[in-house]
Amino acid sequence: MELNSIKPASGAKHAKRRVGRGIGSGLGKTCGRGHKGQKSRAGGYHKVGFEGGQMPLQRRLPKRGFKSTTLRYNAEITLTDLQRLGAAEVDVLALKAAGLVPELARVVKVIKAGELSLAVTLKGVGATAGAKASIEAAGGSVA
């Protein structure tokens, strides 16, 4: 094969549509646009969803609900959950394995709800100011 012998497969290339070049071309006079009306005119078209002045579907339907995508990846657990878990070292993987946070969770935070008497070390898990104070009072730490 030589560079000068390369050509596209048969049927891959076809002639560009030439409108307004006489009746014999099949696209003369109105150029395939039909007669009169907004669609036949240059620059005369409408936006997506326009229904000719009728109230569009997206405006007729009621607005309902909203689900934040950030909530899917953020999770929180309580001091009571940590107490029940009973592990000395807690990270995100341990919490997922215990079923305390969903599998999709990326950011986990401990909130101050309940009591904690175990010394727990948090690794890669955040904590609120109150929760951090409670964990440190019980002899644990937040890394």
The domain that holds 89 is classified in CATH as 3.100.10.10
* Residue 118, Cβ density class (10 Å: 0-12 exposed, 13-18 middle, ≥19 buried): middle
Domain of 136, in residue numbers: 70-142
Report the distance separating Cα 31 and Cα 22, nearest Å: 9
For residue 31, what pLDDT band results from cuts at 50, 70 and 90? very high
Domain membership flag for residue 8: no
Domain membership flag for residue 75: yes
Domain membership flag for residue 28: no
> Which tens digits make up the pLDDT trace of 108-125?
999 999 888 889 999 999
Could you give the number of structural domains in the chain? 1
> Which tens digits make up the pLDDT trace of 65-109?
988 777 778 899 999 999 888 888 999 999 999 999 998 888 999
Q: What is the pTM assigned to this prediction?
A: 0.51
Domain membership flag for residue 60: no
Residue 21 has pLDDT above 80, yes or no: yes
Domain membership flag for residue 26: no
Report the distance separating Cα 83 and Cα 135, nearest Å: 10
pLDDT of residue 86: 85
